Structure formats: C-alpha cells, structure tokens
C-alpha cells in the first residue's frame, strides 16, 4: 500500500475489487460497484464494453459459469489502482484445474470500478 492512500480508503478500494472477484463465483453482480463506462480487457482483448455489459456477463456469461472457487486472494493499492492476484478454480471440480489471475482495477473517488485489466496463466492442476 502506498503512503498516499489512507488505510480506510485503501480498504474500501480493496473491498470494491473483492466484490467483483466474489461475483465471478456467485454470478451475482448486485454488490459490484461498476461505473457505467467501465471497461474490461483480458489478455489484451476487450471483454467488457460498459458497466451494464459486465453485469450481464457476471450474471449469465458462460465464460464465468465454469468458475466454482477463488483462492489465495491478495490485493495491493497504489493510488486509484487495486492490483489483485488469486487462483480461479474451474469446473469440473474433479480434475482440479486452476489458473493464476493478475487483475488490476481502477477505482474512482466514488468507489466504482472504472477499468479492469486481467491477465492469467495457463490452467494447471491445483486443489
């Protein structure tokens, strides 16, 4: 955490990012604070064009339906950016596949996500 962000504000920004990550599993974006103009880029490809599109994807997107668990979540705050790292575990559970995700969230002064940039590794067996 950088000294320019007070601990309370940093905790709020981490909570905003964590709500998004939790919605990947629950498929319920109701607690996710997305700015209407929020975009998401995954491995250099735009996968979310605005807040409403991202909400629909979290709710019904088949790409997220494979996710059944998140583990080893960590987050650091640098100004308005929250950098997270975690493992995403996918179905079928019996094969135990997971991929490490590095996701950055730009959070505005109203604690809404403005931008998401995701990178992830190759899935591998991990229980």
* Burial profile 47-85: b = 16 or more Cβ within 10 angstroms, e = fewer: bbeebebbbebbeebeebeebeebeeeebebeeebbebe
pLDDT tens digits along 74-120: 999 999 999 999 999 999 998 999 999 999 999 999 999 999 999 99
* Residue 46: pLDDT band with limits 50, 70, 90: very high
Question: Percent of the chain beyond pLDDT 90?
Answer: 90
Q: What tokens does 28 get?
A: 């319920």
Domains and CATH numbers, the chain: 7-121 (3.10.450.50)
Q: Residue 70: its pLDDT value, please?
A: 97
Q: Residue 2: its pLDDT value, please?
A: 46
Residue 1 has pLDDT above 60, yes or no: no
* Residue 53: pLDDT band with limits 50, 70, 90: very high
pLDDT tens digits along 7-41: 999 999 999 999 999 999 999 999 999 999 999 99
Q: Residue 4: its pLDDT value, please?
A: 65
Length of the chain: 127
């Amino acid at each position: 955490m950088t000294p320019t962000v007070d601990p309370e504000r940093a905790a709020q920004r981490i909570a905003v990012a964590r709500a998004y990550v939790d919605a990947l599993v629950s498929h319920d974006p109701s607690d996710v604070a997305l700015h209407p103009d929020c975009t998401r880029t995954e491995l250099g490809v735009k996968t979310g064009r605005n807040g409403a599109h991202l909400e629909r994807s979290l709710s019904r997107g088949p790409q997220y339906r494979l996710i059944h668990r998140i583990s080893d979540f960590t987050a650091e705050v640098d100004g308005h950016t929250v950098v997270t790292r975690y493992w995403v575990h996918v179905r079928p559970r019996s094969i135990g596949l997971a991929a490490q995700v590095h996701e950055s969230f730009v959070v505005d002064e109203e604690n809404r996500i403005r931008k998401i940039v995701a990178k992830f590794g190759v899935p591998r067996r991990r229980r």
